């Protein structure tokens, strides 16, 4: 198939959609994962639910759009990515369902058992996607054992190789820090202090695991090759590290919004690092270089890509504007008065 500029544009948009998704839903996942460790009573748990309350649904749509964009722009990659990752993907989707309904259902009954069940769903529904998205993306970086027919030679255990697991751990820890800084933004008093404590502790782990991950990436993948070929790209991992080292500095000063922005930069740039290293590949094959899916052999027709580019360039900025407006509208701390209202989760 012919090469064209739209394939490159859509590769970038594809990466941006996934990166923004992880940046946004990442903090929701983090909130869910830290809940058992930071919340001591029902009131504090409710602060956590309401810290994500107005946002989680809009955040999740970035996943739907990232999936839809993969389908539209690179249908062959969409088909092979999701059929080969059948079991982990369905586990992620079931977990996301549990997470979503936990928000909506928990406050609808007073019974402590009812609440405990949905709390468990929130925790599991936040942990499983974090881990498995990490495992899946690390495996994309590493290359999947797929043949020219797009058939996977292996199973879910094949994906749980050391590098894959490392990717999973990285996502979990990164999202824990991300969610904890968000909770610092949205809560007060003891809960805020505990969230900060979690953020600081897990930050040490994040530094460690991200360091190991970047080294391991150099050892087992060829992702770094693009960065040495085009030195300008080195700004991406540099920004990831800059974000990372800024987190504890801002936390120490009590500037929680800035700490969260720093963490968001880390998530964005860590994801971007992977995509920039993959370019122009979408899913490398570990078995056969000819089976590797690239933006050139897996893309849609130029006409479809052109139409999709127009749609994206018009509507994505509008989406970003109204989502920022919504974030600003609910940017204050979750107050005890708000928890009294019937709307509160």
Partner 1 sequence: MDVVLASRLQFAVASLFHFLFVPLTLGLSILTAIFETLYVKTGDEDYKRAAKFWGKLFLINFALGVVTGITLEFQFGTNWSRYSMYVGDIFGSLLAIEATLAFFLESTFIAVWHFGWNRLSPKLHALCIWLVAIASNISALWILLANGWMQNPVGYTIRNGRAELASFIDVITNPFGWMEFIHTVSGAYILAGFFVLGVSAWHLARKNEVAFFKKCFRVAATWTLIFALFEVFNGHLHGSEVAKAQPTKLAAMESLWETKQGAPMYLFIIPDEKNERNKVELFPIPGMLSLLAYHSPNATVKGLKEWPREERPPVTLTFWSFRLMVGLGFLFAALSVLVFLSRDNPGRFPWLLRILPWVIPLPYLACEFGWMVAEVGRQPWIVYGLMKTYEAVSPISPLQVGISLLAFILFYTLLGLVDFYLLFKFARKGPEPRTKVSLTAKPATI
Q: Does 331 bind partner 1 (CB under 8 A)?
A: no
293: enclosing H helix or E strand:
strand 293-294
Q: How far is the CB of 30 from partner 1 (least distance, A)?
A: 19
Q: Interacting stretch for partner 1, rule CB under 8 A, among 55-63, 173-181, 207-215, 224-232?
A: 55-63
Long-range contacts of 335-340, Cβ-Cβ distance < 8 Å, separation of 24 or more:
336/43, 338/50, 339/43, 339/46, 339/47, 339/50
Q: Does 335 bind partner 1 (CB under 8 A)?
A: no
Residue among 103 and 227 whose Cβ is closer to partner 1: 103
Ranges within 99-138 binding partner 1 (CB under 8 A): 100-101, 103-105, 108
For CA atoms 43, 44, 49, 52, the dihedral sign is: positive
Question: Rounded CA gap, 189 and 24, in Å?
Answer: 25
Question: Rounded CA gap, 155 and 140, in Å?
Answer: 15
Question: Rounded CA gap, 20 and 77, in Å?
Answer: 20
Q: Is 282 helix (H, G, I), strand (E, B) or coil?
A: strand
**Residue 296 has what DSSP assignment?**
T
Q: Given candidates 43, 90, 212, 238, which one binds partner 1 under the rule CB under 8 A? A: 90
x/- letters, 68..87, toward partner 1 (CB under 8 A): xx-xxx-xx-xxxxxx--xx
Ranges within 205-264 binding partner 1 (CB under 8 A): none
Q: Given candidates 22, 28, 49, 65, which one binds partner 1 under the rule CB under 8 A? A: 65
Give the number of residues written for the chain: 345
Residues that bind partner 1 (CB under 8 A): 1, 53-55, 57-58, 60-61, 63-65, 67-69, 71-73, 75-76, 78-83, 86-87, 89-90, 93-94, 96-97, 100-101, 103-105, 108, 149-151, 300-301, 303-304, 307-308, 311-312, 315-316, 319, 322-323, 326, 329-330, 341-343
């Amino acid at each position: 198939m012919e090469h064209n500029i739209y394939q490159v544009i859509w590769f970038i948009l594809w990466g941006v959609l996934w990166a923004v998704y992880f940046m946004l839903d990442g903090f929701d996942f983090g909130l869910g994962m830290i809940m058992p460790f930071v919340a001591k009573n029902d009131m504090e748990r409710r602060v956590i639910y309401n810290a994500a309350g107005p946002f989680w649904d809009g955040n999740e749509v970035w996943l739907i759009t990232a999936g839809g964009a993969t389908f539209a722009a690179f249908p062959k990659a969409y088909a092979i990515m999701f059929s080969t990752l059948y079991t982990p993907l369905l586990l992620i989707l079931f977990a996301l369902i549990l997470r979503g309904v936990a928000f909506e259902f928990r406050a609808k009954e007073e019974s402590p058992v009812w609440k405990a069940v949905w709390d468990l769903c929130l925790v599991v529904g936040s942990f499983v996607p974090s881990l498995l998205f990490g495992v899946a993306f690390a495996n994309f970086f590493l290359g999947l054992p797929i043949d020219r027919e797009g058939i996977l030679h292996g199973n879910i255990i094949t994906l749980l190789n050391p590098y894959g697991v490392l990717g999973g751990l990285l996502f979990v820890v990164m999202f824990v820090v991300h969610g904890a800084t968000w909770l610092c933004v949205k809560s007060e008093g003891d809960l805020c202090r505990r969230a900060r404590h979690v953020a600081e502790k897990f930050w040490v782990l994040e530094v460690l695991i991200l360091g190991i991950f970047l080294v391991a990436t150099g050892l087992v993948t060829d992702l770094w090759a693009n960065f040495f070929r085009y030195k300008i790209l080195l700004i991406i991992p540099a920004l990831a590290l800059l974000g990372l080292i800024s987190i504890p500095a801002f936390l120490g000063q009590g500037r929680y919004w800035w700490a969260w922005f720093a963490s968001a930069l880390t998530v964005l740039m860590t994801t971007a690092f992977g995509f920039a290293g993959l370019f122009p590949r979408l899913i490398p094959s570990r078995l056969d270089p000819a089976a590797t899916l690239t933006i050139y052999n897996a893309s849609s027709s130029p006409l479809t890509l052109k139409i999709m580019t127009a749609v994206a360039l018009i509507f994505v900025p509008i989406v970003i504007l109204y989502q920022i407006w919504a974030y600003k509208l609910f940017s204050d701390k979750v107050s005890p008065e708000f928890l009294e209202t019937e709307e509160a989760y």
